[in-house]
Structure 1
Amino acid sequence: MADMKAIVQQTYGAPDVLRLEEVDRPVPARHQVLVRVHAASVNARDWHVLRGDPYLARLALPTVFGPRGPRQRIRGTDFAGRVEAVGSDVDRFRPGDEVYGDLGDAHGAFAEYVCAAADEIEFKPANLSFAQAATMPLAGSTALMGLRDVGRLRAGQHVLINGASGGVGTFAVQIGKASGAEVTAVCSTRNVDLVRSLGADVVVDYTTEDFTRLGRRYDVLFDLVGNRRLGELRRALAPGGTLVLSGGGTFRGRPGIVGPMGLIISAQAVARFVRERIVVLGTPPSRELLAGLRELAESARVTPVIDRTYPLVEVPEAIRYLEGEHARAKVAITV
Structure 2
Amino acid sequence: MKAIVYQKFGPADVLQTVEQEKPAIKADQVLVKVKAFSINPMDWKIRKGEMTLMSGSKFPKQTGTDFAGMVEETGSAVIGIKKGDEVFGVVKNMMKEGVSAEYVAVTASLVWKKPANISFTQAAAIPVVGTAAVTALEKMGNIRSQTSILVNGATGGFGMFLLQLLKQRGANITAVTSSQGAAYAKKWGANSVKDYKKENVLTQKTTYDFVVDLSGKMGYKSAKQIMKSKALFLNPTPKPIDIPLSLLGNLFRSKKHVVILSNPSAKNTDVLLRALNNGLEIEVNKVFPFAQYKEAYEYAERGGYMGKVVIAID
The amino acid that maps onto 2:139 is V
Task: Kindly state the Cα deviation for residue 261 of structure 1 after the two structures are TM-superposed.
Answer: 4.9
Give the aligned partner of residue 201 of structure 1. 191
Report the Cα distance in structure 1 between the residues aligned to 2:304 and 2:97, rounded to whole angstroms: 24
Report the Cα distance in structure 2 between the residues aligned to 1:287 and 1:105, rounded to whole angstroms: 20
Report the Cα distance in structure 2 between the residues aligned to 1:29 and 1:6, rounded to whole angstroms: 20
Give the aligned partner of residue 241 of structure 1. 231
Aligned pairs for 1:23-38 (under 5 A) are 23-38=20-35
Give the aligned partner of residue 2 of structure 2. 5
SS at 1:189 equivalent: coil
Q: Is the contact between residue 245 and residue 281 of structure 1 (CA under 8 Å) also seen in structure 2?
A: yes
After superposition, the C-alpha distances for 1:11-64 in whole angstroms (9 at most, x for unaligned) are 1112111112211111110111111111111110111112113xxx32x21xx1
After superposition, the C-alpha distances for 1:235-275 in whole angstroms (9 at most, x for unaligned) are 22223222211117xxxxxxxxxxx4566565344211111
After superposition, the C-alpha distances for 1:171-217 in whole angstroms (9 at most, x for unaligned) are 11111101111111111222222212222111111112121222112
Matched, 1:154 2:143: yes
- In the superposition, the TM-score normalised over structure 2's length comes to 0.93
After superposition, the C-alpha distances for 1:302-335 in whole angstroms (9 at most, x for unaligned) are 2111111001121111110111224332001111
Give the aligned partner of residue 255 of structure 2. 276
Report the Cα distance in structure 2 between the residues aligned to 1:153 and 1:316, rounded to whole angstroms: 42
The amino acid that maps onto 1:29 is K
Task: Kindly state the Cα deviation for residue 126 of structure 1 after the two structures are TM-superposed.
Answer: 2.5
> 211, 224, 231: which one pairs with 2:221?
231
Matched, 1:65 2:56: yes
Aligned pairs for 1:64-213 (under 5 A) are 64-66=55-57, 71=59, 73-103=61-91, 104-147=94-137, 149-156=138-145, 157-213=147-203
Q: Is the contact between residue 240 and residue 275 of structure 1 (CA under 8 Å) also seen in structure 2?
A: yes
Q: What residue ranges of structure 2 are gaps of 5+ in the alignment? A: none
- In the superposition, the TM-score normalised over structure 1's length comes to 0.87
Q: Is the contact between residue 153 and residue 181 of structure 1 (CA under 8 Å) also seen in structure 2?
A: no
The amino acid that maps onto 1:76 is G
SS at 1:316 equivalent: helix
Percent of pairs with identical residues: 32
SS at 1:231 equivalent: helix
Shift of the 191–125 alpha-carbon distance from structure 1 to 2, 3 Å rule, reads same
After superposition, the C-alpha distances for 1:280-299 in whole angstroms (9 at most, x for unaligned) are 11223322212221221132
Shift of the 278–153 alpha-carbon distance from structure 1 to 2, 3 Å rule, reads farther
Shift of the 287–106 alpha-carbon distance from structure 1 to 2, 3 Å rule, reads farther
Q: Is the contact between residue 3 and residue 19 of structure 2 (CA under 8 Å) also seen in structure 1?
A: yes
The amino acid that maps onto 1:177 is K
SS at 1:144 equivalent: helix
SS at 1:105 equivalent: coil
SS at 1:52 equivalent: coil
Q: Is the contact between residue 230 and residue 263 of structure 1 (CA under 8 Å) also seen in structure 2?
A: no
Give the aligned partner of residue 311 of structure 2. 333
Count how many residue pairs are aligned between Structure 1 and Structure 2. Answer: 310
Give the aligned partner of residue 254 of structure 1. none
Give the aligned partner of residue 298 of structure 1. 277
Q: Give the structure, 1 or 2, with the largest relative contact order (CA under 8 Å, sep 6 or more).
A: 1
Q: Is the contact between residue 242 and residue 259 of structure 2 (CA under 8 Å) also seen in structure 1?
A: no
Shift of the 7–52 alpha-carbon distance from structure 1 to 2, 3 Å rule, reads same
260-269 or 194-203: bigger deviation = 260-269
